[in-house]
Amino acid sequence: MKGTLLATLLLSAVAGSALAQQQPQFSHYGFNGMYLNPAYAGIKGQGEITTLGRYQYLGYNATFDDGGSPQTYMLSASLPVAAIGGGIGISVFRDKVAQSNITNAQLSYSKHIKVGEGRLGIGVQGIFNHLSKGLYRPIDKNDGSVPRDGSDQKIDAGVGVWYESDKLYVGLSANNLLRSQYKFKSEGGDNTAQVIGENHAYLTAGYNIEASSSVVVTPTVLAKLVMPGKFGDSNKFTFKNNSYEAGVRATFNDKFWGGVGYRYDESFTGLLGMSFAKDNALRFGYAFDFIAFNQDARAFSSHEIMLSYRLPKPGLAIRPAIRTPRYSF
């Protein structure tokens, strides 16, 4: 019975109708807008470079030969470009889950529009996805629905909007709009094993509250939605297998921060971090997830490290000439 259940789970993960989330999650989502939304590119008015490393469900092996702990590494960069009226951004990640590997690269452009006290970004992105599958143990020999040591790659697209002011940010985005179909060599020797690149949507928001002259408190929320079905299907917006997160962090003198979070039906999160260098441009953060639910199918904890650098805000390359009225006659 246990072997049958394992095989069923494996087949569900590779079947074309699978609805589970295929993209990695990060506990530092409040510092990682470029990964979530193409409209974030350059919206803060200064360049940013962010790296993240995440080891999810540390020590979880179950019956997988190579372990079942997802490992994710990500690099993103964002830069405002006044000449194009907005900003550009890139994001690259590699995600490994047992016998499955995903390499993803995104190139984004955001058009910025002044709205009230903040700016609205409208973004588009091109996406490159490379999926590879290793070796599985099928119940039935030569099962054509089970991949065997193959890979496929596709081009996809995403869109988003992002509003940013000194106190508030709100973003909504969707990716994998083409819902591409990936095909792999199978146990049957043909290319019948398939995976659908599901559409994902991200809704996130945060608000800065000045608790004192030196302390800023920031509540944050994130909803990650998997949208099965092609556009126009009647069940497109049933939002199965969604994930919901909420948290709050306190920042002291723009240098130290700490916070807590909750991921629905999965974990509680603790955040710690500090800034270094001139203008606190270099930031280091650590996140610990205590897996409070379904530990038998996961593990006790997840760990994440963030390192980011904020470039100086663009300014005049040279000082403007100071004119005297002495020679104005």
Q: Where are the alpha helices (DSSP H) in the chain?
A: 2-14, 33-36
Per DSSP, the residues of 186-221 read BTTSSS-EEEE--EEEEEEEEE-EE-SSSEEEEEEE
Supply the pTM of this predicted model.
Answer: 0.85
Q: Is residue 234 pLDDT above 70, yes or no?
A: no
Lowest mean pLDDT among 216-225, 269-278, 306-315: 306-315
∠ at Cα 291 (289, 295), nearest 5°?
155
Mean pLDDT over the full length of the chain: 85
pLDDT grade for 7, boundaries at 50, 70 and 90: very low
pLDDT of 13 reads 36
Model confidence over 26-67: pLDDT tens digits?
A: 999 999 999 999 999 999 999 999 999 999 887 776 655 566
- CA-to-CA distance for 254 and 280, rounded, in angstroms? 7
Model confidence over 78-104: pLDDT tens digits?
A: 999 999 999 999 999 999 987 889 999
Lowest mean pLDDT among 1-5, 76-80, 155-159, 219-223: 1-5
∠ at Cα 4 (2, 7), nearest 5°?
110
* pLDDT higher at 231 or 129: 129
Strand locations in the chain (E): 48-55, 71-81, 86-97, 100-115, 118-133, 150-164, 168-175, 181-184, 193-196, 199-207, 209-210, 215-227, 243-252, 256-263, 267-276, 282-291, 301-310
pLDDT grade for 227, boundaries at 50, 70 and 90: confident
- CA-to-CA distance for 71 and 55, rounded, in angstroms? 5
Token couple for 174: 């969707």
Ordered by where they begin, the domains of the chain are: 24-310 (2.40.160.60)
- CA-to-CA distance for 286 and 307, rounded, in angstroms? 9
Token couple for 192: 């019948």
Residues contacting 234, CB < 8 A, separation 6+: none
pLDDT of 241 reads 72
* pLDDT higher at 242 or 142: 242
